[in-house]
A and B are shown apart, each in its own frame.
Chain A
Amino acid sequence: MRVLELPQTEQSRAPLPAPEKALELYRTMRRIREFEDRVYDWFQAGRIPGTVHQYQGQEAVAAGVCGHLAREDYLTSTHRPHGHAIAKGIPLTEIAAELFGSPAGCCRGHGGSMHMGSPEYGMPPASAIVAGGVSIAVGMGISCQMLWPGRVVASFFGDGAFNNGAFHEGANMCAIWELPVVLVCENNFFGASTHITLVNKVLPLSERARSYGMPAETIDGNDVFAVFEAAGRAVARARARAREGPSFLECLTYRRCGHSRRDQNKYRKFDYQEEEAHWLSRDPLELARKRLMREGLAAQSELETIDRAVASEVQEALDYGEQAPRPQGEEALRHVFWEEGE
């Protein structure tokens, strides 16, 4: 790795939030991990249709940022949206049912894995076009500025989106209009199979983002407390009455899963083995567990209690999804246009 300094475990000095919040962040991460691991099993076993782009390894980003968001705040997401949907609070049952294409799903089976969302949680259907959500976040920011002062928008996207024009058009608009938007770049080092060093002359990405005239920083995206702390500053700026405007957070993180359904990450075994080993040794859940126990915020037994509760919650959600009713084929023609009374 030429340009990016990899975060080291012992560097983590991020302040810990209040104990209740710290445990909430851990629980959110555990819900995402448990959900994604079980979905992986079920998908490989042929029980879930379609495709999945999973979030294992990046949990600290969604949990840390959404830890600051209220239900009415807005969020845009990507082709890898399960973690964002869970962290934003959409019930696991609705997310699971959506994976099965059921009318009980959060998008009534019309969206599926890549288009999770819910109006009740401020999350429109995730855009599976890379960088597609960024300019939409601009418009949501305009609405917040004009209609909903105090609300904020968190726009999640990957390192791949950073080299798409739509990101740059959106980032510039956020800056010139001082919009209450937090641009959250999840730099997981690979755009599908292409390493960031092959497609970026300047790293970290935050250096380029800063040139738009907004605060931008690169943080350890596997340290949920570091993400929570940095996102706290960004969200506070966005919420401020004085229109302090957008911020850019580059969260360095790593997939513990493949890019999509059956990807085995073979491309990491060539030039990037050391980097992979470094990141795989830094599981965000383990980092959080160790810190919580080391600093006396939770005993091992408490964390295990959370883990067990989450495991049964996830099991129930997936069972619910699998057994939820399937739609009639004719539903395929509904909702092309808005139906009154929705």
Chain B
Amino acid sequence: MTIAKALRLAIAEEMRRDPTVICIGEDIAIPGGWGGAFTVTWGLEREFDSQRLRNTPISEAGLIGAAIGAALTGLRPIADFQYSDFLFCAADQLINQAPKICFMSGGRWKLPLVVRAPVGASTRGAQHAQCPEAWIMHTPGWKLAVPSSPYDAKGLLKAAVRDDNPVFIFEHKLLYGSSGARKEDNAVQVDEPVPDEDFVVPFGVAAIRRPGRDISVVATHLMLYRSLQAAYELAKEGIELEVIDPRTLVPFDYETVCESLGRTGRLMTVEEDSRRGGWGAEVLAEIAEKYADLLKAPPVRVATYDAPIAASPVMERFAVPDAARIAQAARKMLAT
């Protein structure tokens, strides 16, 4: 099963389980349409009416505001962004409103809101490429999930829908496994069997995707798979990366990372966001501040360079970390 299908299944199951769950977004419920930008809600309009699967104008501020208002008054909305870049059109709703309403009310209003958004460079140029995890991670009041596998996509989305707080879910364009007209060039196949039964993936529990003794590599989304690829190559040289998928950035499972560091003594983060102020910087700072005794070597960040993403596939490939760059950083780390 693909991630797109796993997300679709999670949405359908949650909507069947709880009549207060609704979806709201652009192009999400059009017969003959795409089912959102990357097919996640494709076909759901055959089962759910236009109240519960609510197609909106191109009004990001309006649709997130609407989702907030609905969440305050008894519904459990899942709001859909076509591209993460567009979330800045709703910056007031995402930064000033959603994560502060429970707080400003002294804990008297709850806000069971889910916002989903696709991240990642995909040869579309600078305004359809960003990975804004750090913007949301920086803002108190959000929980933040970053599923990289179909199983996690289903389980984390279900957990998000049942959470009484605002939850952001970033998904990666090249990992969806979208098909037909929405098929992505350079997509990575991450299909896996996903159980039909109801399950959730709890927040704040990282998964070790590959055990290794030399470097603890924390990576998300596409960078997780490129790190695994680098680990495969490096194994031939006798270098063993331990690859950790945090699954959620807020809350962040420092315990698993520290356990891993107890074995490796070396920390590397790999992210597709630009390097300055990305989530990797936060993880490194936290480990350096609190657990420096676990580190045998200075920690390392691998990230996209500090420039917007160019449209040229050649330039995009240069800017975004690939397995070779990750492997090179690992070799350099072990050489010092």
A interface list, Cβ under 8 A from B:
74, 76, 103, 105-111, 115, 117-119, 124-125, 127, 129, 132, 134-148, 165-166, 169-170, 172-173, 176-177, 334-340, 342
Instruction: Point out the residues of chain B lying under 8 angstroms from A170, CB to CB.
Output: 62, 65-66
**A338-B66 contact given A148-B74, A169-B57, CB 8 Å threshold:** no
Instruction: Point out the residues of chain A lying under 8 angstroms from B72, CB to CB.
Output: 124, 136, 139-140, 143
Report the number of A-B residue pairs with Cβ-Cβ less than 8 Å: 164
Q: Given A136, A176, A334, which contacts B69 in the complex, CB threshold below 8 Å?
A: A136
Q: Given A76, A115, A140, A177, which contacts B104 in the complex, CB threshold below 8 Å?
A: A115
Closest to A98 in B: B106
Are B51's CB and A125's CB within 8 A? no
> With the chains together, A135 CA to B56 CA distance in Å?
12
Among the 9-residue stretches B90-98, B144-152, B168-176, B177-185, the one with 4 or more Cβ atoms under 8 Å from chain A is B90-98
Q: Given B61, B71, B75, B104, which contacts A135 in the complex, CB threshold below 8 Å?
A: B61
Chain A CB within 8 A of B105 CB: yes
B interface list, Cβ under 8 A from A:
20, 22, 51-52, 54, 56-57, 59, 61-75, 77, 92-93, 96-97, 100-111, 140-141, 143, 164-165
Are B69's CB and A142's CB within 8 A? yes
> With the chains together, A212 CA to B101 CA distance in Å?
29
Are A137's CB and B110's CB within 8 A? no
> With the chains together, A140 CA to B111 CA distance in Å?
12
Q: Given B77, B105, B107, B143, which contacts A124 in the complex, CB threshold below 8 Å?
A: B105
> With the chains together, A145 CA to B51 CA distance in Å?
9
**A125-B69 contact given A147-B20, A173-B57, A336-B140, CB 8 Å threshold:** no
Are A132's CB and B106's CB within 8 A? no
Are B103's CB and A335's CB within 8 A? yes
9 smallest beta-carbon distances between A and B, as pairs: A135-B65, A139-B69, A108-B106, A169-B62, A335-B107, A139-B70, A143-B73, A169-B59, A136-B69
> With the chains together, A16 CA to B66 CA distance in Å?
36
**A334-B107 contact given A138-B66, A141-B69, A176-B57, CB 8 Å threshold:** yes
Are B102's CB and A132's CB within 8 A? no
Q: Given B51, B93, B140, B141, which contacts A146 in the complex, CB threshold below 8 Å?
A: B51
Instruction: Point out the residues of chain A lying under 8 angstroms from B77, CB to CB.
Output: 139
Say how far B202's CB is from chain A's closest CB, in angstroms: 15
Instruction: Point out the residues of chain B lying under 8 angstroms from A140, CB to CB.
Output: 69-70, 72-73
Closest to A166 in B: B61
Are B108's CB and A107's CB within 8 A? yes
